[in-house]
C-alpha cells in the first residue's frame, strides 16, 4: 500500500514538474536577453516534451548511479566523496566552458556542485533508511527529498536555458537589421537588438511586433557571444 502511495505521488508530480521545467528553461533564456519575466507563457506541447525529458533523464541518472556505485559497507565520508565527484561530472556541461588557467574560482559554480552532491547524498541516505522509517518520519523524509530534488532540477533547468542561449551562434534576424527573433509571447514576436561591436544583445530594450506584420526574416551566424 505504501509503495503504491509513493508511486501515485510521483506520477501526480510529473505534470507539475514538467510545467515548472518549461517555465524555468524559458526564464533562463529570458534572463540572458533581459526580457521581462511578465512575457513568459507555456503551452501543452512544451509541458509534454519537458515531462518526457524529465522521465528519460531521471531514469538515465538512476541507472548510471546504480551502475557505478555500490553503497554497501561504504563509510558516509566515502559515499559523500563519490556523490560530490558524480555531481561535478554530471554538472560539467554547465561550467566546463568557463574553466581557464589562472581564472578566478566561480563561487556560484562551486555552490551548485556542492548542492547537487549534497542532494544525491541525502537522497541515498533516505533510501537506505526508507524501510525502517514509519508513518510521519517517512512522510517527512519524502517531503524533504522531493523539495531538494525539485530545487536542484529547477536550478539546473534555469542554468541550461541561460547557457544554451549564451552558446548560440545562429539566429533569425529581421532582414536588413540587427534585430534578432528570440522568442514569442501570444501573437507577438520578441526581438532583441544585437550589437556587432560588443558581440552582445542590448538587454535594456525589448521589441514586440505582431505576427501579422510583413517582416522578412533571414538566418545569420554571429561570432561567439562575449556577454554573460
The pLDDT, as a whole number, for residue 18 is 66
91 domain-assigned: yes
Q: What is the DSSP letter of 38?
A: G
> Is 227 inside a domain boundary?
no
Radius of gyration of the CA atoms of the chain, in A = 21
Instruction: Report in angstroms the alpha-carbon separations of 20 from 10, 27, 50.
Output: 15, 10, 9
Q: How many residues does the chain have?
A: 228
The verdict on residue 38 lying in a domain is: yes
- Same domain as 176, residue 217: yes
For 188, other C-beta atoms within 10 Å of its C-beta total 15
Residues 106 and 208 in one domain: no
- What does the pLDDT read at residue 34? 92
- Maximal C-alpha separation, the chain: 68
User: Domain check: are 14 and 75 in the same one?
Assistant: yes
Question: Which pLDDT belongs to residue 109?
Answer: 75
Asked if 91 and 116 touch (Cβ cutoff 8 Å), the reply is yes
Tell me, yes or no, whether 36 and 140 share the same domain.
yes
Q: Are residues 66 and 154 in the same domain?
A: yes
pLDDT for residue 166: 83
Q: What is the pLDDT of residue 162?
A: 85
Q: Are 121 and 203 found together in one domain?
A: no
Number of domains forming the structure of the chain:
2
Q: Kindly state whether residues 214 and 112 are assigned to the same domain.
A: no
Which residues of the chain fall short of a pLDDT of 70? 1-18, 43-74, 93-94, 96-106, 129-138, 212-214, 228
Distant-in-sequence, close-in-space partners of 203: CB < 8 Å, separation ≥ 6: 33, 34, 192
Amino acid at each position: 500500500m505504501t509503495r503504491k502511495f509513493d508511486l501515485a505521488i510521483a506520477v501526480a508530480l510529473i505534470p507539475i514538474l514538467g510545467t515548472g521545467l518549461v517555465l524555468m528553461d524559458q526564464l533562463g533564456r529570458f534572463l540572458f536577453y533581459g526580457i521581462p519575466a511578465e512575457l513568459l507563457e507555456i503551452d501543452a506541447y512544451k509541458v509534454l516534451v519537458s515531462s518526457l525529458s524529465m522521465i528519460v533523464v531521471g531514469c538515465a541518472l538512476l541507472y548510471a548511479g546504480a551502475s557505478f556505485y555500490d553503497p554497501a559497507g561504504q563509510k558516509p565520508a566515502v559515499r559523500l566523496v563519490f556523490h560530490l565527484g558524480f555531481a561535478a561530472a554530471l554538472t560539467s556541461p554547465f561550467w566546463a566552458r568557463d574553466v581557464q588557467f589562472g581564472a578566478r574560482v566561480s563561487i556560484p559554480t562551486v555552490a551548485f556542485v556542492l548542492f547537487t552532491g549534497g542532494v544525491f547524498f541525502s537522497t541515498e541516505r533516505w533510501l537506505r533508511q526508507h524501510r525502517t522509517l514509519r508513518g510521519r518520519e517517512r512522510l517527512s523524509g519524502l517531503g524533504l527529498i522531493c523539495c531538494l530534488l525539485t530545487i536542484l532540477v529547477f536550478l539546473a533547468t534555469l542554468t541550461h536555458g541561460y547557457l544554451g542561449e549564451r552558446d548560440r551562434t545562429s539566429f533569425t534576424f529581421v532582414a536588413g537589421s540587427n534585430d534578432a527573433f528570440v522568442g514569442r509571447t501570444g501573437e507577438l514576436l520578441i526581438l532583441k537588438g544585437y550589437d556587432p561591436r560588443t558581440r552582445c544583445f542590448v538587454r535594456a530594450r525589448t521589441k514586440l511586433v505582431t505576427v501579422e506584420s510583413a517582416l522578412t526574416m533571414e538566418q545569420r551566424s554571429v561570432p561567439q557571444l562575449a556577454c554573460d
